[in-house]
Structure 1
Amino acid sequence: MRRMPKWAMLTAMAAACGLAAPSANAQQRTANEQSARQLYSDIIAFRTARGHKQVPAMVAYLKDAFIKAGFAESDIAITDYDSEGEATQGLIVRFAAKGTPKAGPIVLLGHMDVVEALPEDWERPPFTLTEEEGYFFGRGALDNKYGIASLSHNFIRMKREGWTPSRDLYLVFSGDEETGMITTRAQAKLVAETIKPALVLNGDAGGIRLTEDFKPIMFGVQAAEKTFATFELTVSNPGGHSSRPRKDNAIYELASALKAIEAYRFPVRDSAITRGSFAEMGKITPGPLGEAMLAFSRNPADEGARATLLAAPATANLLSTTCIATMLKGGHAENALPQSATATVNCRIFPGEGGAAAAQATLQQVIANDKVAFKLITDVVEAPASTLTPEVLAAVKAGVHPRFPDLIIAPYMESGGTDGMHYRALGMNTVAISGAAMRDSDMFAHGLNERIRVEDFYSGLDHWYRILRHLAD
């Protein structure tokens, strides 16, 4: 029996009692805020997860919104792709400069797809924007419907205000970043060959880090990310009747291999970005963790600093390659010995570590069992780190400091992956500078009850507005 989600139960009770659902926007807001909220709500309603084929519907909605704001049909391009057997689309919108552009184009990235969310598991409907307890809840509330809404809203706002940029601006939204990245790869190639941007700014990472009591401590500029590689590990055996056990059991052998991977820790690495990030974070992080950050930034070989940073979940993944089991399957009948067992192992490889081949070689050495077959199941993209240029730094200050005066701005390396890797791989300097503000404890992207604080949503509406005006006035 499927249990009724809490949100559905409350809605049903309200209806039974003849009560209207409480307003999701009880507080009075300006016309600009209401417009942004409506756009945000509308795009969260599209279930753009793999298998639901909703990306084209969301593209059609956004295209209509841009045309109503005054963008010409000729400035909007929809690209069609087949992403691992499912039709999806990308969207490109040009905000054209008047006359001869005074500088090279700026490309702004975001992705329209989301990770799946099962309504029966959530406390609230995942594909309905819910305002409750001071938060906006919904799948994509952060990753990355927030970025799409922020960028789209400001393009629409500036167009309606009659503003014209001094250089061409392009929104480039992908349709399958969370899965195959087919749209991302194709659009990155298209951008490199036809737009040839001077700057690529990503709305899918970066942003303001908050303490647990909501105090801003740093604006992070994502300038690098780990290499994403996924392997399937398979053990095959002759099998047989379950009443006659054998020593060569595929499930047991695979389990031993996974336990070896679990116990292994890749060597600690560092880069200019990680050292610089720890140097800034250490100044504002209290206690032993902050001291360890500063010590590591000065001397990455400091064993005490390494031990402290590796013991903290917030910093451990920034120091080395990580490989972890994420899926498992094995056997074919309850009364038969398994003929095969397979595990999926996802690696996030530190830049410069040798890529997927080096990670596989290390895992094979750790497992020390030739019967475990490896298969790389992802297309691996190794991308260099980007540079936070003076031009972009000045623009970020223009976007952030009116909201949080004198907030530290520093580049960092993302342990996850974004569209940005494909642009870096093609030689385009790409940094992510989202306007999101977030506590570590509120990070539920890809998880249940994804959310962003209402106050931070509204206070961040001018983030891209200020940045784009600074770069293209």
Structure 2
Amino acid sequence: MHPNPKSIALALLLSSVSGAAAADADRNSEHARKALDIYRTIVEIDTSKRTGNTPRVAHFLADELKAAGFPERDVEVIRLDDLAALVVRYRGDGSSGEKPILFLGHMDVVEAYAEDWERPPFELTSDDTFFYGRGTIDNKFGVAQLTSTFIRLKKEGFVPNRDLFLAFSGDEESGMRTTRLLAYDRPDLATAEYALNSDAGGGALDEHGQAITYNIQSAEKTYATWEITAYNPGGHSSRPRADNAIYDLADAIRKIQAFRFPVRYSDMTRRYFQIAGEQKGGELGAAMLAFAADPEDPDAAERLSREPAYVGTTRTTCVVTMLRAGHAENALPQSATATVNCRIFPGVPVAEVEQTLRRVVGNDAIAFKSIYEPTESPVSEPREDVLDAVATALEARYPDVPLVPYMESGGTDGMHYRNAGIPTWAISGAFMNPNDMYAHGLNERAPIKAFYGALDHWSIIIRELAGP
């Protein structure tokens, strides 16, 4: 019986990162140094929507990839006004006869203001445990890991048996215009068999650093945002009146704050809580198991609702995220506006959520305006070859960790690829405690151990799915 060359190559790769070394890959290797250099460079470029800096990151990454041997014709920076996307083709030899695989990430970040942070948000700093900076997790972690992996494989002479594409968007955190361009207007990407997203998924650790689950994002909630506005004739501030736009809006906000949407569930979310509860244990684990057994259990749902990491998996959520009001300090406000961001459980119509919010506010004088065209996306049912590849990648780091498909409470580029007919799963290489997730918040961080532990994650997956 002749040995399988692919199995031999994979065994050699796994043996090089086995045991304790798997969690902390050689930090002095060329691959580790390149990954950290890319990570540092892109974290230290403010790519929030107000800066117009995503082209800088796209061109930097493009130059790194071309320097590693990717032909200029296969590295494309796509401009869209002050935004940019990056598409990189890793040409395969076609021996598998299979369609391309897409690898997704986004180069933009949510705004961060230095005066609010304990550390400078656009400087990569660290202590003994974490890297700090805006985008260290969301999603420059994934962008750096994928880019450095493509560079590593190219330098090693790896030739995939099918085409591979990097597809990095430039405004995932705002309008998703570049995402739509990539998902709907690129014939080369539209031929993909499926997409693997670096922007979600990954491993959950308990407070002792033990792996609980590895989560594969297979569905997303619907992202919808409204501005709600109270209007008033206003007047001079020295002559207050009983009706006031700010007060009326404040009443509406309080009612939204107090309201909870009904519990929702699916076979996927119940299975997720079943496995996570078994692994986690304790009071929270018991609540997960109780919810999995009976989602109508009010005590279990109430306990999970107090956990920011899990409440979004149990129901639709709406929260006020921004305010603006008034036009002068010495004038009564003529208008007051709140931004209400909702993450809607799959299957619940967006119009139904708006009707519910209007009923909760209970004031017909409050105007509702939808900000974006909401995107409802289908579930991507897991496929065996992808699950097997992920399991192989995790074997050296966290053997026997359960792989659990789940629904993302947030939103990613994946929603548009799914709508374009491309099944998409998010499979980040990061393992971390959910309580350390500060994406979009102050003092965003990524575990240093997670960064170095993930260095072989994408290499193994790519070799498994597209190796000769």
TM-score normalised by structure 2 residue count: 0.91
**Are 1:173 and 2:153 counterparts?**
no
In the alignment, structure 1 residue 366 sits paired with structure 2 residue 360:
yes
SS in structure 2 of the partner of residue 423 of structure 1: helix
After superposition, what is the alpha-carbon deviation per residue over 1:278-328, rounded to whole angstroms, capped at 9, x for unaligned? 111011121232222222223222333223322333322211111111112
Q: What is the rounded CA distance, in whole Å, between the counterparts of 2:121 and 2:171 in structure 1? A: 19
| Structure 2 residue 70 is matched with structure 1 residue 71 | yes
Task: Give the superposition deviation at 1:100.
Answer: 4.4
SS class of match (1:317): helix
1:328 equivalent among 323, 327, 331 = 323
- SS of the equivalent of 2:341 reads strand
> Residues 217 and 284 of structure 1 are in contact (CA less than 8 Å); yes or no, is this contact kept in structure 2?
yes
- CA drift of 1:161 comes to 0.3
Larger displacement relative to structure 2 (314-323 or 179-188): 314-323
State the AA in 2 paired with 1:400. Answer: L
- Aligned equivalents of 2:231 and 2:336: distance in 1? 7
- Which of 401, 423, 430 is 1:436 aligned to? 430
Alignment match of 1:198 (pick from 193, 198, 220): 193
Between the aligned partners of 2:27 and 2:158, the Cα distance in structure 1 is 27
Q: Is the 8 Å Cα contact of residues 195 and 424 (structure 2) preserved in structure 1?
A: yes
Report 1:236-247 matches (<5 A).
236-247=231-242
Of 376, 380, 383 in structure 1, the residue corresponding to residue 377 of structure 2 is 383
SS at match of 2:185: helix
Match of 1:273 in 2: 268
Q: What residue in structure 1 maps to residue 442 of structure 2? A: 448
Please report how far the alpha carbon of residue 194 of structure 1 lies from its aligned counterpart in structure 2 after TM superposition: 4.9
Does the C-alpha gap of structure 1 residues 99 and 238 become closer, same or farther in structure 2, counting only changes over 3 Å? closer
Instruction: Find the aligned partners of 1:255 and 1:125 in 2 and give their Cα distance.
Output: 33
1:92 aligned residue (64, 87, 92) = 87
Q: 1:236 deviation in Å?
A: 1.1
Aligned to 1:30: 29
The letter for the 2-side match of 1:452 is A
- Residues 193, 352 of structure 1: alpha-carbon distance in 2 compared, 3 angstrom cutoff: farther
State the shift of 1:331 in Å.
2.2
Q: Assess if the C-alpha contact under 8 Å between 1:212 and 1:440 holds in 2.
A: no
2:139 counterpart of 1:136:
no
Q: 2: CA distance between counterparts of 1:363 and 1:228?
A: 15
- TM-superposition CA deviations, 1:178-202 (whole Å, max 9, x none): 1111000110013467541111100
Mapped partners of 2:460, 2:95: distance in 1: 23
Specify whether residues 167 and 257 from structure 1 end up closer, same or farther in structure 2 by C-alpha distance, changes over 3 A only: same
Confirm or deny that 1:43 pairs with 2:37: no
Shift of 1:423: 0.8
Counterpart of 1:147, as a letter, is G
The equivalent position to 2:413 in structure 1, one of 419, 423, 429, is: 419
Tell me the CA shift for residue 398 of structure 1. 1.2
Q: CA deviation at 1:101?
A: 4.3
Identity %: 50
Question: Which residue type is aligned with residue 120 of structure 1?
Answer: E
- Contact 1:288–1:308 (8 Å) recurs in 2: no
CA contact (8 A) 1:140 1:450 kept: yes
1:126 to 1:413, Cα distance in 2 relative to 1, 3 A: same
The SS at the match of 1:217 is: strand
Task: State the one-letter code of the partner of 1:316.
Answer: V
Q: CA deviation at 1:459?
A: 1.3
Q: Residue 139 of structure 1: CA displacement?
A: 1.7
Q: Tell me which residue corresponds to 2:13.
A: none
- The runs of 5 or more residues in structure 1 that have no matched partner are 1-26
Amino acid at match of 1:291: A
Tell me which moved more, 337-346 or 275-284.
Answer: 337-346
CA distance in 1 between partners of 2:296 and 2:207 (Å): 31
Q: Distance in 2 between matches of 1:335 and 1:32?
A: 60
Q: What are the superposed Cα offsets for residues 192-223 of structure 1, whole Å, 9 maximum, x if unpaired?
A: 67541111100000001111222111101111
3-state SS of paired residue (2:309): helix
CA pair 401-335 structure 1, distance change in 2 beyond 3 A: same
Q: Measure, in 1, the Cα distance between the counterparts of 2:48 and 2:222.
A: 23
Greater relative contact order (CA < 8 Å, ≥ 6 in sequence): 2
Instruction: Label 1:28 to 1:224 Cα distance change in 2 as closer, same or farther (>3 A).
Output: closer
CA distance in 1 between counterparts of 2:324 and 2:430 reads: 38
Contact 2:106 2:170 in 1 (8 A): yes
Any residues of structure 2 matched to 1:89-168 within 5 Å, and which? 89-168=84-163
In 2 relative to 1, CA 354–192 (structure 1 residues): closer, same or farther, beyond 3 Å?
A: farther
Root-mean-square deviation (CA), in Å?
Answer: 1.7
The answer to whether the aligner puts 1:285 opposite 2:280 as a matched pair is yes
Which residue of structure 1 aligns with residue 182 of structure 2?
187
Gaps of 5+ in 2: 1-25
CA contact (8 A) 1:94 1:169 kept: yes
- TM-score calculated relative to the size of structure 1: 0.90
- 2:67 aligned with 1:55, yes or no? no
Letter of the 1:36 counterpart: A
